[in-house]
């Protein structure tokens, strides 16, 4: 391979270029004492963004996932609680996020063990094996279908029945211990299989591993209650006590088969994913025997039209995006037009959405809820979108955020849409392309 070193002539040229530009000295002084986050901000464009919307869905106050990556759970239960809150006639209600996270982590460990067994015949340096060791079960992330799987198997309950603990709200060390243990177990499983162990021996090890995981999670979360009572005061100041729910009976009474009506629509304009096709990601899931992750890929304009239709019909929209791009924390705003990073860094970073996915420049890493939109009366098209986040109610807009329409185009990758808006497109889902485990469409769950 003909590798080329950096020559002295190059270095001299670079030094001359740097010293010959006055702006470099100015920026060096600024960079030495300031955070990058506010650089390149354009206040004139920012003035165009008002936190006002021509259409909003009333929602309860924002919640707080704290130091955890459970955004996908918080965003989903923030939708379900609105349904339950209306039935209970209450101003505020929360479902237990820790109950759902407990079962996700437990089931994810079992799913991971099955992945290890399935790939045990492959060499340790196989790309898929290395990906599973490095990424699967590395944190708190998840996907809409994974949420639905948990609810279908384990039900839901009010937050009072299983509240937060320190570990559920700050999951770094919890995940670290599980991360290490599961990889130790991967080694034990691969060794047993290599030695020719029979299915009974392998199952004995799997059961022991899961028993230890269950005990550890109970220490961190407390053990999920099998029954609980629902106690609340409604908007009319009337006290209610409803006893002896199970998570399953609570789910059946308050949300029924609601989750079955929705599908994940993505916008991935890459060559490997033609539009109007179905996709799943290999080895991405949580419950063995549950539904696979399923995506339907559409152009961004079509995805946006679906989101708009659903909002205007009074339904909230769960979505996945890259929340790290072009965020103004002071205004709680995402707008790619408000920052000129090239001007302050000298690094030209223009890219298309397809390039951002292919070259890992951007990918969805945070789930939130669309709850409003502003329609420009001149064009009849959206120019900004209201967002319910799960980063707490503090600060401006009381925990609600918003994004420009151009940011939506570039950094929204997924939206969960009621199937009724996709009539004629979902009848035949027999042809599903299986994407590699490391595909960018799996990043939110990792």
DSSP SS3 for 85 = helix
What is the reported pLDDT for 139?
80
pLDDT of 256 strictly over 70: yes
Q: What is the mean pLDDT of residues 142-168?
A: 98
Ordered structural domains, the chain, with CATH: 55-445 (3.90.70.10)
Residues 6+ apart with CB under 8 A from 261: 418, 419, 420
What is the reported pLDDT for 208?
98
Q: What is the mean pLDDT of residues 122-126?
A: 98
Q: What is the mean pLDDT of residues 353-363?
A: 97
Look up 240 and say whether it is catalytic: no
pLDDT of 236 strictly over 80: yes
Q: How many CB atoms lie within 10 A of CB 440?
A: 21
pLDDT in tens, 430-439: 899 999 999 9
366, 371, 403, 446: which is the annotated catalytic residue? 366
What is the reported pLDDT for 183?
95
Mean residue pLDDT of the chain comes to 95
**pLDDT classification of 395: cutoffs 50, 70, 90:** confident
71, 109, 220, 371: which is the annotated catalytic residue? 71
What is the reported pLDDT for 178?
95
pLDDT of 418 strictly over 80: yes
Q: What is the mean pLDDT of residues 217-229?
A: 98
What is the reported pLDDT for 34?
80
- DSSP per position, 169-213: HB-HHHHHHHHHHHHHHHHHHHHHHHTT--HHHHHHHHHHHHHHH
**pLDDT classification of 138: cutoffs 50, 70, 90:** low
Q: Which of residues 69 and 27 earns the better pLDDT score?
A: 69
What is the reported pLDDT for 43?
76
Look up 389 and say whether it is catalytic: yes
What is the reported pLDDT for 131?
94
pLDDT in tens, 280-323: 999 999 999 999 999 999 999 999 999 999 999 999 999 999 99
**pLDDT classification of 136: cutoffs 50, 70, 90:** low
What is the reported pLDDT for 348?
87
135, 389, 403, 446: which is the annotated catalytic residue? 389
What is the reported pLDDT for 137?
67
pLDDT of 326 strictly over 70: yes
**pLDDT classification of 42: cutoffs 50, 70, 90:** confident
Q: Which of residues 329 and 265 earns the better pLDDT score?
A: 265
Q: How many CB atoms lie within 10 A of CB 431?
A: 7
Look up 110 and say whether it is catalytic: no
Q: Determine the Cα–Cα distance for residues 420 and 262; give it in Å rounded to an integer.
A: 9
What is the reported pLDDT for 219?
98
**pLDDT classification of 100: cutoffs 50, 70, 90:** very high
What is the reported pLDDT for 238?
98
pLDDT of 234 strictly over 70: yes
What is the reported pLDDT for 35?
79
What is the reported pLDDT for 242?
98
What is the reported pLDDT for 378?
95
pLDDT in tens, 171-215: 999 999 999 999 999 999 999 999 999 999 999 999 999 999 999
pLDDT of 40 strictly over 90: no
- DSSP per position, 93-161: --B-HHHHHHHHHHHHHHHHHHHHHHTTTS-TT-HHHHHHHHTTT-SS---HHHHHHHHHHH---BGGG
């Amino acid at each position: 391979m003909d590798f080329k070193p950096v020559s002295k002539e190059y270095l001299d040229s670079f030094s001359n270029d740097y010293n010959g530009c006055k702006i470099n000295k100015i920026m060096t002084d600024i960079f030495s004492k300031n955070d990058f986050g506010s650089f390149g901000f354009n206040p004139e464009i920012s003035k165009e963004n008002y936190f006002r919307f021509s259409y909003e869905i009333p929602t309860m106050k924002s919640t707080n996932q704290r130091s955890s990556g459970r955004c996908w759970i918080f965003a989903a239960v923030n939708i379900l609680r609105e349904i339950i809150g209306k039935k209970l006639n209450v101003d505020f209600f929360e479902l237990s996020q820790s109950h759902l996270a407990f079962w996700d982590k437990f089931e994810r460990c079992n799913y991971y063990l099955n992945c290890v067994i399935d790939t045990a015949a492959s060499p340790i340096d196989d790309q898929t094996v290395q990906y599973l060791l490095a990424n699967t079960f590395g944190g708190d992330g998840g996907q809409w279908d994974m949420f639905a799987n948990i609810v279908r198997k384990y039900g839901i309950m009010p937050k009072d029945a299983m509240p937060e603990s320190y570990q559920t709200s700050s999951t770094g060390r919890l995940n670290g211990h599980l991360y290490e243990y599961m990889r130790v177990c991967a080694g034990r499983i691969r060794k047993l299989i290599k030695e020719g162990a029979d299915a009974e021996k392998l199952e004995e090890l799997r059961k022991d591993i899961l028993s230890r995981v269950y005990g550890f999670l109970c220490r961190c979360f407390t053990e999920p209650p099998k029954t609980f009572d629902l106690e609340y005061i409604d908007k009319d100041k009337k006290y209610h006590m409803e006893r002896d729910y199970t998570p399953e009976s609570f789910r059946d009474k308050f949300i029924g088969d609601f989750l079955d009506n929705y599908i994940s629509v993505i916008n991935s304009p890459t060559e490997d994913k033609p539009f109007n096709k179905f996709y799943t990601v290999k080895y991405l899931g949580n419950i063995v025997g549950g539904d696979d992750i399923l995506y339907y890929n559409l152009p961004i304009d079509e995805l946006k039209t679906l989101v708009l239709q659903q909002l205007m019909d009074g339904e909230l929209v769960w979505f996945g995006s890259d929340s790290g791009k072009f965020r103004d924390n002071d205004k709680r705003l995402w707008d790619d037009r408000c920052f000129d990073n090239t001007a302050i860094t000298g690094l030209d970073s223009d890219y298309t959405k397809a390039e951002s996915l292919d070259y890992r420049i951007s990918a969805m890493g945070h789930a939130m809820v669309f709850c409003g939109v502003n329609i420009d009366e001149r064009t009849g098209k959206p120019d900004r979108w209201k967002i319910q986040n799960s980063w707490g109610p503090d600060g401006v807009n009381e925990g609600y955020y918003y994004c420009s329409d151009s940011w939506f185009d570039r950094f929204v990758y997924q939206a969960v849409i009621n199937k009724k808006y996709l009539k004629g497109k979902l009848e035949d889902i027999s042809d599903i392309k299986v994407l590699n485990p490391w595909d960018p469409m799996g990043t939110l769950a990792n």
